[in-house]
Amino acid sequence: MGYAIAEAALAAGHDVTLISGPVNLDRPPGAHFISISTGDEMHGAVHRHLRDCDMLVMCAAVADYKPANVSAQKIKKRNETLSLELVPTRDILASLPKQDRQFLVVGFAAETDDLEENAQRKLREKNCDVIVANDVSRADSGMESDANEVIIFFRNGGKENISRAPKKNIARALVKIFSKFARKTFDKKNVTISELD
């Protein structure tokens, strides 16, 4: 979804910085591309580019947990149970400045249940201006699919639906909605997108 939004934003005339983990997608021509491999690298890259953006679109979350210890060598197979201790990853969206922000924040909420309730909670708790929510429990939409269906929630209580469509169509509709929302807030045009699958 991040790549589709980057392409749609470029087509609409916006300057785009795309911060991306390893994916099997072609880089959108014209985007300033920043390659990262870990959640910590994503955190650093997002924070380094905050001052340069008018809208930060956080399309995909870093995994919620990571191994507490990483082995430098291969862990050999044994005939015993192996347990991994997991620790929470940094919450990049929650780490963004809360006061006197000079940019808008769009978060995404991939949910499997209570979509509206969970998305609106995330909108408030993560101090987002906009949340794009989608139901990822369906095999024909969202993750690992070329199609999606989303509900957009705004801080002011507004809400918009985009029916199931190819992600490129969803992305074009989202960029129009984000641009309209941004014009109401301020008139600038730089967009930073982060994507880590």
- Domain range summary for the chain, segments of one domain joined by +: 2-62+86-195
More confident: 196 or 186: 186
Q: What is the pLDDT of residue 4?
A: 92
Asked if residue 62 has pLDDT above 60, the reply is: yes
Residue 79 corresponds to which tokens in the numbers above? Answer: 């005939």
Average pLDDT of span 13-17 = 94
Q: Is residue 142 within 8 Å of 134, Cβ to Cβ?
A: yes
Average pLDDT of span 132-156 = 80
Q: What is the pLDDT of residues 80-128, one digit of tens each?
A: 998 999 999 889 999 998 888 888 999 999 888 998 999 999 999 999 9
Q: What is the pLDDT of residue 130?
A: 95
Q: What is the pLDDT of residue 194?
A: 57
More confident: 195 or 160: 160
Q: Cα-Cα-Cα-Cα dihedral of 153, 151, 33, 180, to 10°?
A: -60
Residues ≥6 apart with Cβ < 8 Å to 54: 102, 103, 104, 182, 186, 188, 189, 190, 191
The fold adopted by the segment(s) 2-62+86-195 is Rossmann fold (3.40.50)
The CA distance from 187 to 22, in Å, is 33
Q: What is the pLDDT of residue 187?
A: 53
Q: What is the pLDDT of residue 143?
A: 59
Helix (H/G/I), strand (E/B), else coil: 84: coil
pLDDT band at 63 (very low <50, low <70, confident <90, very high): confident
pTM of the model: 0.84
Q: What is the pLDDT of residue 181?
A: 87
Q: What is the pLDDT of residue 162?
A: 93
The CA distance from 86 to 178, in Å, is 36
How distant, in Å, are the alpha carbons of 67, 69, 191 from that of 108? 24, 29, 16
**How far is residue 109 CA from its own chain's centroid?**
8
Helix (H/G/I), strand (E/B), else coil: 5: helix
